[in-house]
């Protein structure tokens, strides 16, 4: 599966407009529900849809815990060469201090609104490129508190396509 994610074209953050970043939990959710896959494919045709290298690493780390049917659906989707991009960032999962530094370099106040630095990495990246977020994380990311904070950046956190 790692090779399939590596084959997703990398984009330069300066060349990405009208984009959406997918959180790890949203990716799993989509492929647990077959009817959502076509919606994701349709979104990929309308907007730039991508994943950060951080979220890809998270997915690969939990891959063995994901049902085989979901892994099969992800592989099938990635083999079809969807119009997606990969955004490499300079932080990897598992190093909370590096995650905090990455987030603070974008916005000092962000960690006041998202307690988990690994979740904050995705939001910080979205702020950097002006992307919306697709997530199922209702504890840290899909909250009215964070939504209000992100209004200053004109970024939306969505939980469905």
Domain extents for the chain?
2-158
Task: Note whether 122 and 133 are within 8 A (CB).
Answer: yes
CA distances from 25 to 1, 105, 113, 133 (A): 17, 25, 19, 12
- As a whole-number percent, the residues of the chain with pLDDT over 90 amount to 65
- Give the pLDDT score at 85: 92
Indicate the average pLDDT of the chain: 90
Half-sphere exposure of 102 (CA within 13 A, CB side): 24
Kind plus residue range of the DSSP H or E element containing 124: helix 117-129
Per-residue pLDDT, 82: 82
Tens digits of residue pLDDT in 120-150:
999 999 999 999 999 887 666 767 778 889 9
pTM for the model stands at 0.91
pLDDT at residue 15, as a whole number: 61
**Which tokens sit at 150?**
């992100």
Q: Is the dihedral of CA 158, 105, 88, 120 positive or negative?
A: negative
Is the CATH number 3.40.50.620 carried by domain 2-158?
no
DSSP 138: T
Residues 116, 103: Cα–Cα separation, whole Å? 11
**What does the pLDDT read at residue 14?**
63
- The confidence score (pLDDT) of residue 140 equals 62
> How many angstroms separate the CA atoms of 157 and 148, rounded?
10
Q: What is the pLDDT of residues 61-88, one digit of tens each?
A: 999 999 999 999 999 999 888 889 999 9
Beta bridge partners of 133: 21, 157
DSSP state of 4: H
- Residue linked to tokens 């990897």: 92
What band does 12 get if pLDDT is binned at 50, 70 and 90?
A: confident
Q: How high is the pLDDT of residue 125? A: 95
């Amino acid at each position: 599966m790692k090779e399939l994610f590596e084959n997703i074209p990398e984009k330069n953050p300066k060349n990405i407009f009208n984009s959406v970043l997918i959180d790890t939990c949203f990716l799993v959710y989509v492929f647990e529900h077959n009817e959502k896959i076509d919606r994701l494919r349709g979104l990929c045709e309308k907007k730039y849809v991508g994943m950060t290298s951080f979220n890809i690493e998270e997915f690969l780390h939990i891959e063995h815990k994901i049902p085989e049917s979901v892994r099969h659906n992800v592989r099938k989707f990635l083999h079809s060469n969807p119009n997606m991009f990969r955004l490499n960032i300079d932080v990897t999962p598992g190093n909370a201090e590096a995650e905090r530094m990455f987030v603070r370099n974008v916005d000092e106040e962000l960690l006041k609104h998202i307690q988990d630095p690994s979740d904050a990495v995705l939001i910080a990246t979205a702020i950097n490129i002006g992307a919306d977020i697709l997530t199922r994380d209702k504890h840290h990311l899909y909250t009215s508190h964070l939504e209000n904070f992100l209004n200053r950046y004109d970024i939306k956190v969505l939980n469905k396509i």
